[in-house]
Every structure is written in structure tokens, then in C-alpha cells.
Amino acid sequence: MKKRYLLPFMLFTLSSCSKDFLNQKDPNAVQIDDYFKSENDVLLAVNGLYQTLRSGNTIGEGSTLYNEERSDNTGRNDNQSNAGEPFQFNDFSLLPSNTYLKTHWAAMYAGISRCNVILTHIDEVSFSSEALKQRYMAETKFVRALLLFHMVRKFGDIPMATVQVISKEQANELAFRQKESAIYEQIIKDLTEALTSDLPNTQHEYAVGRTSKAAVNAILGQVYLTLGATQTTGAVENLTKAEQYLNASYQMRTFDKLKEIPYTQVFDVKQKMACKELVFQIQYLQGDQNYSSSIARNYQARGESINSRFTSTGAGEVVKLDLIKDYEQNDIRKDFSVKFAPDAKVNDWFVTKFRDNSAEAGINGWGGNDWILIRYADVMLLLAETKYRLGKEAEAIALLDQVRERAGLPSYAASMLNNDYRTKYPTLKEAILHERRVELAFENHRWFDLIRNYNPQELVTYFKTKNQADYGNAKISNISTKDRYYPIPFDEYKLDPQRMYQNPGY
């Protein structure tokens, strides 16, 4: 594993303190304006961006609160004490004052700010080659686009800056919500420009955990699919571009059929540096107290030892019975991904998809699991969805069947002869959405899949057709059309209620 270095950035804090006091420099700190002197300084700064992605407050492991726990896959049953605020996400009772929401917002914008700092100062550095400079810029733009893509889907209109903010006046000028269309325009610009660099096709040609053209194409394709699925204007054009970029990513794979890669290998800690299905992942260091993964130990339920040697005292990551019932008979993904914990204090299903029971991880559970952001089964099913929307059903089914074949399931055509399958998934759209659910469960895709495939009213209808008994303590009846978006954190809204207007219903 290549070393990753933390960037010694000192984040600016704007206040009403005297100018003389603010003008004093800390002799023990590196000022941003003094930092960028060499190629290596830029490299360390870019490495710092990947470090930002590791946090559960952004999009690393542990960020399931903002995705999976908002969906019908997982969610907490404890709504008391410290668990009360996390419970709001799955209970559709999320408040603008929620401190977890505020933390997520702040962490995401801190990551975007780091990207802006690099892009603002990179021209000050002399590079041995223009290609190296363009590669670092491409990596930075990819991370910025990725963070913005997560934010715009969750919050809708959001503030956006693309340069380093250096004054309170500048911050005030930029502190307003820009329309979703403007955010998507910037995301597309960043990703398109990243593709003009000399980034290699795969992370294995660069370094595992760094971006590649396969990753950029995959996210750009998903961006266009999201636009094509949710906006009526330009739908065909957006879907055509989605097909183009998703197919470009798919064609960069270094295997033939998906069945060549066992499902368990995708999550095998020993295979994470070589698995051909992995397109982009966030790295964690096995056995290291500070940089290890804690997902295996945190997801394990009391009385169990399948995930980790760490002795758990909690319920782990609780799985909705609604999802358990969505697995088809003989689907090999079920036994690998979930398990029932019979302990009297648990008595529920928990996630077993992420495991590190090795001696290296030890009894502290300092695991080596990488957090996978993009893999080829995801790309293939996104491409299948795109082709379905473009009327290319045969091509969509061929991709769907590859995923089902690896899972030990019959083809789509054969499955549609089964009355139970045909009743539950009467259209190809619903079959693909189902396949994404069970294939990518607990990987932070489900909420985005739902809001891409259902408009706000359809989303409400979808959830209210569920059985409350299969959904846990969170109340399905709470959902309304407002829950398509998260609320703007109250502290952000109150700064300027007109320009930082709240989302409807909150």
C-alpha cells in the first residue's frame, strides 16, 4: 500500500477580531499562501483530498447514515438518548437543527474548499511536465465533482464556490443557494476536463485508491443518467451521454464476464489491491489504530464473530426485514451479506458484507477493509438502466443477466416465468432497481437509486406500500414529498433566510 500523507492545511476562520491580531502569523503553522512551492507540495495536497474522503462525515465508511439509513435497507431502532438524532434520517423526521446533518454539510464543504485551494494555487508551481500538472488538476476536479454530486442530490440548490475564499466579504457574496442546474453544469465541466488529462484507464495503472478515467467516466455517466431520469427537458440527450460515458468506463475493464470475479472476492481484504471489479475505493490500513477500517467491528452484532475478532456489545448495522425478504431464493449474496443474530438483546438481522477477522486486525478490530465507491457491477447496472430508458431492452437485459448469473440466479427471461418474481418486479425498470438493491446493499447507493427512479410523490407511494412490521421502529407514515430533499442546516439558513432559503416542508 502506498503511503498517504495528511496535508498540513490551516483552515481559515473568519471572525470580527482585530485586523492586527489576524495579521500575525503562527510560526509553527504553514500558511496556505506560503505552502505551494514544489511539485511535491501539490502531490501532498492532492493526497490530502483522498484523506478527506475517508471520513464518515463525508463519503467514507460510516457515512451510511446519510444514504443507506435514509433508505429502506438499514436503519436504527433506537430512538432514545444519543441515537435520537441519527434515528431521524430513517424515520423521516429529520430536523434542520440535526447536528449530524450540520456536521456532514460542514465536512463536505471543507473537502470542496480543499479542492478550490489547490486549483487556486497550482499555477504558482513550476512542474517538470505539463502532463503531471494536468493529472493533479484532474484528480482535484474529480474529487470536487464527486462531493458536489453527493450534495446536490441530497439538498437540491446549494451554495458553490470554485475558488479559494480569502475574505469574509467574498464568503458573504458566495453564501447563496445556486440552482441545481448550475451545480450540475459545474460537475460536468470538472469531470469532462478531468478526462482530457493523462490519467490512466484504471487505478491499477496509477495507484489503488487514486482516480482513473474509468472512475471519471463512471461518475460522469451517472450524472447524465440522473439528469436524464429526473428532468424532462433534454432527457434523451442526457441519457445518450450517460450511455456513452458508462459504456466507456465498462470498456476499460480488464476482465470479460462478471462471473469471472467471485462476489466474495470483491470484499476480500486480501484481494483489495488486485480485484479487477474495483474501479475506485477509499483505502484503510489494516492493524493501524488511526488509519484502519472499523466497519467490520462496528457492523457486527452482539454474540457474533463473523465480521471481526472484536467483541461487540451492540446490535451492529441493523438490516430491514423488508430487504431480507427482497433476496430471491438461492441468491448467494444473501448469506454473505447478512446474518441473523439470535442474542436476546439483538434478535435481528445485521450486516456481514464487510469482514476482517484476521490476526492482523486483532481483537481491537483494526480492519483493512477499503470502502468501495465504484465497482463494475454498479457501472453495469447503471448502464442497463440507461439502455432501458433509451428503449434498448435486449442490451439492458444482457447486462442484468451477467449480474444475476454471478449471484447464482436464473436469467431475467426465465425469472419472468416465475409468478412471484413477475408480480414483485413487473417491469424491467423495477427488476433493475431490485438487482441494484441486493447487489449493492450497504454500499451507499440505495437512497440515490430511489430518488432517481421515483419523483417525490412516487417516493411517498413507494414507501407507504411497505409493511410497517418489516421496517422496524421508524415510522413509514411520516414520509411526505418534502423528504425527497434534506433540510438546509438551520445555522446555514439563519445566516441569510432569503438567499439560503429552506427546502419546502421544513
Question: How confident is the chain (506 residues) per 10-residue block, as mean pLDDT?
Answer: 29 31 42 85 96 96 96 89 85 97 98 97 96 98 98 98 92 94 98 98 96 98 98 96 98 98 98 98 96 97 98 96 98 98 97 98 98 98 98 98 98 98 98 98 98 98 97 96 98 96 98
Q: Determine the Cα–Cα distance for residues 412 and 385; give it in Å rounded to an integer.
A: 14
Residue type, 383: L
Q: Roughly what angle, to the nearest 10 degrees, separates helices 376-389 and 213-230? A: 30
Residues 403 and 439 sit within 8 Å (Cβ to Cβ): yes
Among 214, 212, 51, 67, CA closest to 150: 67
- Looking at residue 8, its pLDDT comes to 27
**Would you mind telling me the total number of residues written for the chain in this entry?**
506
Residues 425 and 431 sit within 8 Å (Cβ to Cβ): yes
- Taking CA atoms, 207 is separated from 155, 251, 462, 503, in Å, by 33, 20, 42, 41
Q: Determine the Cα–Cα distance for residues 471 and 474; give it in Å rounded to an integer.
A: 7
Tell me the CATH architecture of domain 1-12+30-198+481-500. Alpha Horseshoe (1.25)
Q: Determine the Cα–Cα distance for residues 216 and 149; give it in Å rounded to an integer.
A: 12
Q: Determine the Cα–Cα distance for residues 484 and 502; give it in Å rounded to an integer.
A: 13
Task: Strands of 79-179 (E only): list them.
Answer: none
Please return the burial class of 230, using the count of CB atoms within 10 Å of its CB with bins 0-12, 13-18 and 19+: middle
Secondary structure, 3-state, 183-245: HHHHHHHHHHHHCCCCCCCCHHHCCCCCCCHHHHHHHHHHHHHHHHHHCCCCHHHHHHHHHHH
- Looking at residue 80, its pLDDT comes to 72
SS3 367: strand
Q: Determine the Cα–Cα distance for residues 388 and 366; give it in Å rounded to an integer.
A: 42
- Looking at residue 82, its pLDDT comes to 62
Q: Determine the Cα–Cα distance for residues 350 and 317; give it in Å rounded to an integer.
A: 5
Q: Determine the Cα–Cα distance for residues 75 and 323; give it in Å rounded to an integer.
A: 11
Residue type, 352: T
> Phi and psi dihedrals of 311, rounded to 5?
-85, 110
Residues 466 and 476 sit within 8 Å (Cβ to Cβ): yes
- Looking at residue 16, its pLDDT comes to 30
Cβ neighbors of 408 (< 8 A, separation 6 or more) are 330, 331, 332
280 membership: H or E segment, kind and range:
strand 278-282
Over its C-alpha atoms, the chain yields an Rg (Å, rounded) of: 23
Which residues make up the CATH 1.25.40.390 domain(s) of the chain? 1-12+30-198+481-500
pTM, entire model: 0.93
Cβ neighbors of 419 (< 8 A, separation 6 or more) are none
